[in-house]
Amino acid sequence: MSFGLTFINNSDQVVIDSEFARLNVICTGRYAPTQESGLGSTTAFPIVITSQEPPLVFCRPDTGGISGLTAMQVIGTPGAWTGFYVRAYDVNTNKPNGRYFAGTFGAQPVATYGMQLWDGASKLLFDSGTPTALFTRAFQSWAYVRSETTPTGSTRSFYTVPFNFPENEYMLINTFGMNMLTGAGSGRLVKTLWSFSAGTLYAVTDGFSNPFVFFLPAVFAKLSV
């Protein structure tokens, strides 16, 4: 940065910079079952998120048993994102209950007092009412566990990484709402499973072609406050 403002913390990490946006937390809350006999959950953001791109939504299922999330959708339109939908893995896992936060690379003017910082193009980079999120880790080297054939003839494959499920870490679920590209038009459905008793995070794919290769990252972050 040739001019402007930079804040650096005690670990020599840049916390605020007048040229580059951090992942700002626009809102936080809980998600809970709302439909589909408790399998589906639609959550309204407490404020409309005004970014052009969909916000990144991070979820942390409540501890206990086996929880799964899939079919994530951000609800709204560019400049007016109003909430998100997520679905439980199936009827044999926990219903969708947990905490979430939604963030964007850029702030919103939500604070009634404090400090705001813009870049040279008048984009709001920082607002003291929108704390930043800190990326903590990402998994992409999944270990293949097993596959099974479903009643419809598709192949369901399981992949895993060991994970200690800290209470303050949330997983990005936007990527678990999109089908993976395959040699078939339907693609491969992607789900995630949290086995709290086994301390293991699973990714599950379901499709009719390219059933084994899997490189989708699982990204985690935590709130900075």
Give the residue, 171 or 110, on which the prediction is more confident: 171
Q: Are 160 and 145 in contact (CB under 8 A)?
A: yes
C-beta of residue 140 within 8 angstroms of C-beta of residue 161: no
> Residue 38: phi, psi to the nearest 5?
90, 0
**How do residues 116-135 score in pLDDT, each as one tens digit?**
777 777 777 777 777 888 88
Strand ranges (DSSP E) for 128-188?
Answer: 133-139, 143-149, 155-162, 170-172
| Residue-level pLDDT at 143 | 92
Tell me the pLDDT band of 184, cut-offs 50, 70 and 90. low
pLDDT of residue 6: 65
What is the identity of the amino acid at 105? F
pLDDT of residue 14: 56
Residue 52 CA to residue 34 CA, distance in Å, equals 27
Q: Where are the domains of the chain?
A: 6-135, 136-217
Average pLDDT over residues 138-143: 88
The pLDDT tens digits of the residues spanning 43-102 come to: 999 999 999 999 999 999 999 999 999 999 999 999 999 999 999 999 999 999 999 999
Q: Taking a C-beta distance cutoff of 8 angstroms, is the pair 126, 107 a contact?
A: yes
| Rounded-to-integer distance, Cα 110 and Cα 151, Å | 50
Residues of the chain with pLDDT > 90, as a percent, come to 53
